[in-house]
Structure 1
């Protein structure tokens, strides 16, 4: 006779762990370089340092850079963003001009009111201004290749004497342009344009005006070129290419265009991980990730973390260049120490 221990507890189905369901696979190609360039980093540092040295408020004419996250973070620290200097009271607090540059009339108005201003124009944009002025000094009519209404273009146009510059946006503009003297022309370009698109306009100009003078050095900035080169390499075979940047960021929109042109099945511009259609990404998909020059790493990190929550991620680094450029802030702010905590809102915790 076999005895059974009737006191043994019965198995509770609820206590049995369900098998862990495997996550869908995702290959994530992360572009390097990406995100902040030296000019953007310098501009943000100028606002942060001005707040530390002079206290709030620090007024900023227009967005310091094209990124809502950055602008909101600086606003929380005490920056006050204005459209024009007429909105700034005569309280002695500093006014910062954005990284995109401003027309000459803006600092002139500030000086007329004895305002203390800090010019955060990217040094590479300032270089374009100097190239344009050099053309004028040599008796040339300036052709500015750029997008109408972009703050950098507005600032560059405002650096040059009235009537001395013509904006050229497309090859159709080249065909329509008839100068007074075809032998006295020089061109400059907006720094954040697509390298390929700019080449097409430049080639059209050179074909029509063989005596056209180029700027003394390349106008398109190193950061624009480097980010586009990495996107070109990562794009082929990618199901979805995600570019982090603001809708009004020229260099970010160009990255989306480059991704589509060089083999990505689809490419989108997003401001954060919330804008990515995660539910539409299939098992085994290949996703690539880059960021415009005004997008902070903290937004990239959030996307990678979100991907890892929902997918088994195979992370690949696509690096085409190293960037070691550093643009120092102006002398008035160099005696103010900048700590990692000061920049944590864009870089994340140290």
Structure 2
């Protein structure tokens, strides 16, 4: 009989990879398979060091700007977060062969912003300054045509050119609750503002946050497997805290666990951000199994069946 303390793990579902992340990683892997290394990738393909390092070991070369890439016939992949219009324009001017791994749900936001602009509306983007997705979305329109708001307070200080010609779009990986509050503030100040036909926050972000809300009130601690620069992972940690779990932590790998933090707990919740592979969740569960008598229960709040098409250039490789 083991003298290890008992630990009940509640595993959130859905968790981990979303369809957009899965597609982006596939694009790099299939490009390596078809064209051989190197395959250049502008920015981290997704925000996860384990994924990036795995692809780098297979021959992917990660850069922040196209200017870092020498004259080459090798493929260049744009990350899942999307890029400003200037990036494919620069790639074309250099005769680069590029593959766009932008998540289709991010591309949807780009198209919405462009459509509002064509219809004469000033666009308000709800998002986090400096995040690659925000940089890419703002880069769809000319300077001054799109304004970023990050908080309800920003809304109070925002002065549009014409409050009757306004529209809003949002980053896809935000907190559902925070975004709702900002939208309510925008609508209260500018009743004529036009929103998306369908919510911009992606299905995966919403589903993962709902699963955390279901588990967090019933556990002593919550682990979100994900990277510090992953917006959706950071939001999951915040959602867990707000849902009643004061001990919520973001971890990249099992070796990051601070065991003193989990001393004396009996119930642990685990989820993973949309760019975190399931192998890292399993690694963390295995680490806890060395310190506790572990039982694992999955708490499922939604089923996900969405898949996105690959670029035409890679479909034949995927079919083989």
Scaled to the shorter chain, the TM-score interval is over 0.9
1:275 alignment partner, one of 256, 262, 265:
256
Q: Which residue of 2 aligns with 1:148?
A: 129
Q: Which residue of 2 aligns with 1:105?
A: 86
Q: Is the 8 A contact 2:219 2:269 kept in 1?
A: yes
Q: How many residues align?
A: 320
Counterparts of 2:209 and 2:131 in 1: how far apart (Å)? 20
Q: Which runs of 4+ in 1 moved over 3 A?
A: none
Q: Which residue of 2 aligns with 1:76?
A: 57
* TM-score, with structure 1 as normaliser: 0.89
Shift of 1:279: 4.2
Shift of 1:246: 0.4
* Structure 2 segments unaligned to the other structure (5+ residues): none
Counterparts of 2:263 and 2:138 in 1: how far apart (Å)? 47
Q: Is the 8 A contact 1:27 1:284 kept in 2?
A: no
2:138 alignment partner, one of 142, 154, 157:
157
Counterparts of 2:264 and 2:152 in 1: how far apart (Å)? 43
Q: Is the 8 A contact 1:243 1:252 kept in 2?
A: yes
Partner of 2:185, secondary structure, is helix
* Structure 1 segments unaligned to the other structure (5+ residues): 1-19, 340-350
Q: Which has the larger radius of gyration?
A: 1
Shift of 1:284: 5.4
Q: How does 1:220-299 map to 2 (within 5 A)?
A: 220-283=201-264, 285-299=266-280
Q: Is the 8 A contact 1:63 1:81 kept in 2?
A: yes
Root mean square deviation of aligned Cα? 1.2
Q: How does 1:1-350 map to 2 (within 5 A)?
A: 21-283=2-264, 285-337=266-318
Per-residue CA shift, 1:195-243, capped at 9, x if unaligned?
0000111000000000010112210000000000000000003111000
Partner of 1:39, secondary structure, is helix
Q: Is the 8 A contact 1:191 1:220 kept in 2?
A: yes
Shift of 1:322: 0.5
Per-residue CA shift, 1:149-191, capped at 9, x if unaligned?
0000000000112221111111111111111211000000000
Counterparts of 1:265 and 1:181 in 2: how far apart (Å)? 43
* TM-score, with structure 2 as normaliser: 0.98
Counterparts of 2:318 and 2:148 in 1: how far apart (Å)? 41
